[in-house]
A and B are shown apart, each in its own frame.
Chain A
Amino acid sequence: MYFAGIDVGSTMTKAVLTNEGGELLSAVKGPTGPEHRRLANEVMRGALEQAGLQIDDISYIVATGYGRVNVPFADRQVTELSCHARGVFSLFPGVKTAIDIGGQDVKCMKINGGRLIGFVMNDKCAAGTGRFLEATAATLGIRLEDMGDIASKATKRVQISNLCTIFAQQEVVALLSRGEPLENIVAGLHIALASRVAALAQRLVIEPDLALTGGVAMNTGMVRAMRESLGRDVLVPEEPLLTGALGAAIIANEAYREAAEDGTLPTGTRRLEEATFFAEEDL
């Protein structure tokens, strides 16, 4: 038996397939465009190909993330908070606190035995999210993935006074024109984002083990800045982007067992193509 988790985030869509032992068989990610449904299909198809499986081989599919309602081939939608908690717990069984910094949101979670017991999130504002770095990187004309390396060359950190991403974009232009070296500005942006996230996380009682996930955790500069701002060690998974999708696959496995006991298993065949708005283009 096989299970799938698909996480349609604001910036990236991720799909993972597992077997019934919870072993990871394949994982695929791609940028989320405005056409969620088509992308969910593509990423799912990629994950199936990688594992050498067909859609009908999958016993249960859970969709999560902010675009989860746009995954018509999923059997169930589960909030990203529950999926992240479960995913992170499967990687780090000692985890008590997890911080997930995504493209448009930041989630700080308290976890007990894989269950979510409390959380705080950013509120309708890009401050404290991956967008802060993405937008300022664009203003500075550098690639997002190079930011960590650039920050590591800094001789000092420039103080970034604006929390608002839009104002921070103006601020970095002013700093550059004042002759501040790029690496010092980039280092300042990292610590500004990290202290914003740390302030949010500290609304919870942070207990170790503490894990950092989400796309932003792929940036080593941010991992350093988070360790410094929190004054604690943080655990980072090898694939920090995948914890939500992984949790969704684990929940899919459990949901299947429950449904089997209740006799409410999903029936009928699933087809990726039929479920999309863009069927004609795809053919």
Chain B
Amino acid sequence: MNWFVGVDVGSAYSKGVITKDSELVGWHVISSGANYRASAEVIRKELVRQAGLSEDDLTGTVSTGVGADNVYFADRKAGDIVCTARGIKNVFPQARTVIDIGSQSTRAIRLSEEGMVTNFAFTEKCAAGSGRFIEVIANVLRVDLSQFGPLSARSDSPITFSTGCAVFGESEAITRVSEGIRKENIAAGVNRALASKAASLVRRTGLEEPCALCGGGALNDALVRTIEDELGINLLVPPQPQIVTALGAAMIAATPATPAPGTGPK
């Protein structure tokens, strides 16, 4: 039996999955905190506990995400785009486009029929259009992240943010609250801003259906529907959208590494 682990250390959450002969056996998600190394350790402990194993039983581990270097027990690192693509191929083999909304970045990935990455685009250097924008405004509105979608779904008149900048968005949200604008309309305005950013990324890579949505942002139902409206399509959303990239990392762990040219044994 071969046990493989994938660990995806994101800026907000760390995700891990354990697979047995390519079947998902267990998974775990925790807040990344400031110490990525400690988070990775907690995840490994929990995964082997779920599988009833000891750490020595693991066949291989691949790490990914912004904190991939902190997964000291990983055998290899893999790029997060490749991991997301691989994870989606496992859940929705028919998907030709994936949108991944994470805290640090929102990414659009185009896939070939074989599930290989053919094109991608992502937000960088800036929290506009990433899940962090939701976290920031949820904090202003004093709502739990899990309640952000349900709150937004009750909106009748979403506000429009004047810039994409999450810092300015934060002050704008505070101003709107003080003007008596209802929280649901502010939350829905955030989802709209994110949906429009995600849609513009997808248009950059080219949209080919079926299109899947993953990452923590996909836990926000109202955001899923807003993106569907914006793109005019239905999205495939996995039951556990947050662990797709970690699942991909575990799948890659189960694939023999191809040595880079010139690095193999002489």
Residues of A within 8 A of B (CB): 34, 104, 124-127, 131, 135, 162-167, 170, 173-174, 176-178
Contact = CB atoms under 8 A, between A and B. Distances in A.
A13 to B, nearest CB: 15
A164 B126 contact: yes
B175 A177 contact: no
Contact of B165 (A34, A126, A174, A177): A126
Contact of A135 (B126, B164, B167, B179): B167
A93 to B, nearest CB: 35
7 contacts: A125-B165, A126-B168, A166-B166, A166-B167, A167-B11, A167-B127, A177-B34
Given A163-B125, A166-B136, A124 B35 contact: no
B132 interface: yes
Contacts of B125: 162-164, 167
Contacts of B167: 126, 131, 135, 165-166
Task: Output the residue of B35, B163, B168, B175 with the most chain A CB within 10 A.
Answer: B168
Nearest to B136: A166
Q: Which of B127, B163, B164, B178 has the most CB of A within 10 A?
A: B127
A104 B168 contact: yes
Contacts of B175: 34
Contacts of A178: 34
B126 A125 contact: yes
A125 B11 contact: no
Interface string B122-135: 00011110001100
Contacts of B133: 166
Contacts of A104: 168, 171
B10 to A, nearest CB: 11
A214 B34 CA distance: 34
Contacts of B132: 166-167, 170
Given A163-B125, A177-B34, A124 B168 contact: yes
Given A125-B164, A127-B126, A163-B125, 16 more contacts: A34-B175, A104-B168, A124-B168, A125-B163, A125-B165, A126-B165, A164-B125, A164-B166, A166-B127, A166-B166, A166-B167, A167-B11, A167-B104, A173-B34, A177-B34, A178-B34
A214 to B, nearest CB: 17
Contacts of B104: 167
Interface in B92-110: 104
A104 B127 CA distance: 16
A170 B178 contact: no
Contact of A34 (B35, B168, B178): B178
Contacts of A173: 34
Contacts of A34: 175, 178-179
A178 B34 CA distance: 8
Contacts of B11: 167, 170
Contacts of A127: 126
B165 to A, nearest CB: 5
Query: Quick one: which of A131, A135, A164 has the most chain B CB within 10 A?
Result: A164
Nearest to B34: A177
Contacts of B179: 34
B80 to A, nearest CB: 16
Interface string B155-185: 0000000011111100100010011000000
Contacts of A125: 126, 128, 163-165, 168
Contacts of A174: 34
Contacts of B163: 124-125
A165 B166 CA distance: 8
Give 6 nearest A-B pairs by CB, closest first: A177-B34, A126-B167, A166-B127, A124-B163, A165-B167, A164-B126
Contact of A177 (B35, B126, B168, B178): B35
A16 B225 CA distance: 51
A173 B163 CA distance: 26
A221 B35 CA distance: 30
A215 to B, nearest CB: 15
Nearest to A135: B167
A166 B195 CA distance: 19
A173 B31 CA distance: 14
Contacts of B178: 34
Nearest to B33: A177
A122 B132 CA distance: 22
Interface in B120-151: 125-128, 132-133, 136
Nearest to A163: B125
Contacts of B165: 124-126
B26 to A, nearest CB: 28
Contacts of B136: 166
Nearest to A104: B168
Contacts of B164: 124-125
Residue with the greatest number of chain B CB neighbours at <10 A, chosen from A34, A124, A166? A166
Contacts of A167: 11, 104, 125-127, 132
A163 B35 contact: no
Nearest to A124: B163
